[in-house]
Amino acid sequence: MKPTLLPLIIVLFACVALQAADDPRLAAVRAADDQRAAATMAADGAKLAAIFSDELRYAHSSGLVDTKTSYLQSIVSGRTKYHVIEFEERNFTFPAPGIALEGGRARMKTTSASGETDSLFSFLAVCEWRKMSWRLPLRRSRETGK
C-alpha cells in the first residue's frame, strides 16, 4: 500500500488557516473596516476623513467615481444616506507589506436622489497601512442582486 500525502496536505492547510486567523493584521484591518461602515452610517465626516486616504477613489456600481472630498460631501450632507451595511462575506489577503485586499459581499440600504435601494453588492477594496492606521485608497462595488 502506497503512503498517501492527504493527511500531510490537510495538516498544512489547517496550519495556514490557523496562522491567517491569528494574524494581528487581520483583526486590525477588519476593525478599521467595521469603523468605516459605522462612520458611514452615522455620517461622521471626521472619522471618515481619518479612515479614507487622501487619494481615495470610490467606484460605485453606477459607474460614478468619487474622490475623498466628493464622497465625504455626499455622506455628510445627507445627499446619500446609508441606513444598513451588513457584510455577508469578507475575505482579506495581504499581498505585500502594508497592503491588504478585501473582497466580499454586503447588503446595503441607502437613500439618495435616485430613491431608496436595498441591494446586495460585491466589492473589492485596497487598504494600506499609512500614518499608523489602515486607510482606504480604493474601493469598487458592483450590485449583484436584491
All structural domains of the chain, each given as residue ranges with its CATH number in brackets, are 6-145 (3.10.450.50)
Q: What is the dihedral of CA 34, 40, 41, 46, to 10 degrees?
A: 100
- Taking a C-beta distance cutoff of 8 angstroms, is the pair 128, 137 a contact? yes
| Rounded Cα–Cα distance for residues 111 and 115 (Å) | 6
Helical spans, DSSP H, in 23-67: 24-42, 45-51
| Count of positions (residues) in the chain | 146
Q: Give φ, ψ of 43 to 5 degrees.
A: 55, 40
| Rounded Cα–Cα distance for residues 103 and 146 (Å) | 19
Whole-prediction pTM: 0.81
Q: What percent of the chain has pLDDT over 90?
A: 76
Kindly report which listed range (38-42, 57-61, 110-114) carries the lowest average pLDDT score: 110-114
Q: Is the pLDDT of residue 44 over 90?
A: yes
pLDDT at 4: 56
- Higher per-residue pLDDT: 69 or 10: 69
Kindly report which listed range (18-27, 72-81, 133-142) carries the lowest average pLDDT score: 18-27
Q: Exposed, middle or buried: residue 64 (CB in 10 Å: 0-12, 13-18, 19+)?
A: exposed
- Taking a C-beta distance cutoff of 8 angstroms, is the pair 137, 55 a contact? yes
What's the pLDDT band for 3 if we cut at 50, 70, 90? low
Question: Tens digits of per-residue pLDDT, 86-130?
Answer: 999 999 999 999 999 999 999 999 999 888 999 999 999 999 999
> Grid coordinates in use for 82?
446609508
